Amino acid sequence: MILHEKRARPAPWRSYIAGKRGWTIPLLVLEWPFDWLAYALSHWSFLEALEYLGSFSVLVAVIFYFSESGDRLKQKHYQAWQVINTAQHMSGSGGRIEALSELNADGVPLVGVDVSTAFLQGVQLPGARLLRANFSDADVRNSNLESADLSYASLDGANFRQSNLRHTSLDAANLANGDFCGAQFGASDLSDATLDAADLGNADLSGIKWQRIKSIKKTNLAGVKNPPEGFLTWALRNGAVQLESNPNCPVTSGNP
């Protein structure tokens, strides 16, 4: 920012060069006219007005920037949804990992989102609202969906190996044929969920709500960690199995 201040009148040429060394005279010949020019301009009110107007324009720009922040956020969300919808039924990521994470970070509900067959390894969706979402046959390994709402969601055939599903609502969700090897289900709600033929080998089941599981036929429970009291007996009686441990199935830490 230019500070507008009135300058003192330059001295006459003879006084200006008095006492100066001879080799500096050529430089002073150039400097003296500019001193007069600066003196004249410093007394020009028009330039002072321009300076005030420049400061005012910055203020106006700041006001407009913040007043339009909501529109920019809407545009950002629109573009994220466009990425997700355009890549529907594609097997790759197609930018959906970043788009989903950004929307969730901004608190946007992801209800009914269709990411079937998508490559979403490592996606971060803690606390996401994914009611009725479609993750069928998606690769969601090593992901974080802690405290997410996956009620009525389809995880049929999806790969959630070594994923964080702690405190997740899986109420009435379809986990059939899913790969949940080494996943962490601590305190998750599996009420009315279907787990037929899912692989829960080495998964952490500490504190899960299991009493109202809808179906658990042919579900592999080999090496599960921290199963609630009575769960294994009930599950095996209702069709679950304990197959030989899969050497490729990761082992959880067992921490709730």
| CA separation for the pair 241, 246 (Å, rounded) | 13
What mean pLDDT, rounded, does the chain reach? Answer: 84
Share of the chain above pLDDT 90, in %: 60
Closest CA relative to residue 159, chosen from 189, 204, 224, 115: 115
Q: What per-residue confidence (pLDDT) applies to 196?
A: 98
Q: What per-residue confidence (pLDDT) applies to 91?
A: 75
Confidence of residue 165 (pLDDT cuts 50, 70, 90): very high
CATH architecture of structural domain 89-244:
3 Solenoid (2.160)
10 Å Cβ neighbour count for 4? Answer: 15
Longest CA–CA separation in the chain, Å: 112
Contact at 8 Å (CB) between 117 and 100?
Answer: no
Q: What per-residue confidence (pLDDT) applies to 93?
A: 82
pLDDT in tens, 53-110: 666 666 666 665 566 555 678 888 989 999 999 888 777 788 999 999 999 999 999 9
Q: What per-residue confidence (pLDDT) applies to 56?
A: 60
Contacting residues for 24 by C-beta, under 8 A, at least 6 apart: none
Which residue intervals of the chain bear CATH 2.160.20.80? 89-244
